[in-house]
Amino acid sequence: MNETILIGDIAIAVTRKNIKNVHLSVHPPEGRVTLSAPKETRLEVARAYAITKIGWIREQQEKLRSQDRETPREFIERESHYLWGRRHLLSVLEQDAKPFVKVDHKRITLSIRPGSDQSKRASIIHKWHKTLLHELIPTLISKWEPKLGVQVTAYFLQRMKTKWGGCNHTAGHIRLNTELVKKPKDLIEYVVVHEMLHLVEPTHSDRFISLLTKHYPGWQEARAELNELPLAAEEWRE
């Protein structure tokens, strides 16, 4: 059963799990707070722990509220677009030919047929993003399968509004958010490793944290950096 602790104006959702230690998290984008505790933990004990962390909670929430937000993209000339963590300016070329997208050091060129609306432009860019990720993701999976001792039977790319990735450990599938194409490749690698480890341990248990720390020691820094980067107009969280 999920319970809620209210400390001042901060609501903390409490979940009891088969873990040894208490885990307190502040989630982007809005600063939602959760506390995972061992199954036998009394609510008043969890509350006392949360009170000792109230300063840290407020600090994390303030960081999230001060994050940059991308305004909705219109796919027009000289608009900013992120790719692999770097900002590019969009150049729109109208010509009566098959649409394409190309990138150089500082510019993304979108070639479209005359009269193509915002929806069509967005669709072309999205397909291009998926192509780029399909070039990267298999190499990361192949790199980490022998290290983690797992086999990914399939991976899927899709738009997701609430998280960076997902895992179906029974089927051996992982899912990745297409928005990841906007992030640095090392942070994408962190998300891939995170989801692949769920094939070993489905929940965010102490064992999962231990395995993540063993195989990807910088995961906390990677997660923090991922959440500090500009957010899209739609709100995303890990």
pTM exceeding the 0.75 threshold for the entire prediction:
no
Rg, the chain, Cα only: 20
- Check: CB of residue 55 under 8 Å from CB of residue 218: no
Give how many domains the chain has, as a whole number.
Answer: 2
Cα within 13 Å of Cα(99), Cβ side: 17
Where is the domain boundary, 65, 93, 110? 65
Residue 237 lies in a domain: no
> Does residue 103 sit in the same domain as residue 146?
yes
Residue 234 lies in a domain: no
Predicted pLDDT at 204 = 85
> Across the 238 residues of the chain, what is the mean pLDDT of every consecutive 10-residue run?
86 90 83 90 92 91 69 86 92 95 93 94 95 98 96 93 86 94 94 96 90 93 75 41
> Does residue 57 sit in the same domain as residue 137?
no
Predicted pLDDT at 230 = 53
Predicted pLDDT at 234 = 39
> Does residue 200 sit in the same domain as residue 84?
yes
Q: Is it true that the peptide bond before 146 is cis, omega within 30 degrees of 0?
A: no
Predicted pLDDT at 140 = 98
Angle (CA) 192-223-58 rounded to 5° is: 150
> Does residue 146 sit in the same domain as residue 195?
yes
> Does residue 91 sit in the same domain as residue 192?
yes
- Host domain of residue 24: 3-65
